[in-house]
Amino acid sequence: QVQMVQSGSELKKPGASVKVSCKASGYMFTDYAINWVRQAPGQGLEWMGWINTDTGNPTYAQGFTGRFVFSLDTSVSTAFLQISSLEAEDTAMYYCARGVGYCTGGRCRFDPWGQGTLVTVSS
């Protein structure tokens, strides 16, 4: 079955970096986009952007440029989210989700989702 498995929780100090992984299985990795979604504690879902797994081209949502980097290792069907210069406000659950539909255009739904990776930033 199609599955997205993310790396484990991270505890980081302000100013550090973190790299979250998302390993896909059960389908051809390069046939579907990977989206990233943030959920701050007690808050709603916020789309961070997506990466085209065929071209490697990332697209970042407003508010997620500069410190956020999406990357891939297609040889192991894995997507990565790296966040640098971590701030307390980055404390959140981060989800990857496979993009289904015409994700290059406007018609893209997220299915399935990874289990989430909790990133905690604290001194």
Residues engaged in binding other proteins (CB under 8 A): 35, 37, 44-47, 49-50, 59, 61-62, 95, 97, 100-101, 106-116
Q: Which is nearer to other proteins, 39 or 82 (CB)?
A: 39
Q: Which is nearer to other proteins, 29 or 64 (CB)?
A: 64
Q: Which is nearer to other proteins, 7 or 116 (CB)?
A: 116
- Give the pairing of strands 18-25 and 3-6: antiparallel
Query: CB of 111: closest distance to other proteins in angstroms?
Result: 4
CA separation for the pair 93, 119 (Å, rounded): 6
CA separation for the pair 38, 101 (Å, rounded): 21
Residue 24, burial from CB neighbour count under 10 angstroms (0-12, 13-18, 19+): buried
Query: CB of 17: closest distance to other proteins in angstroms?
Result: 24
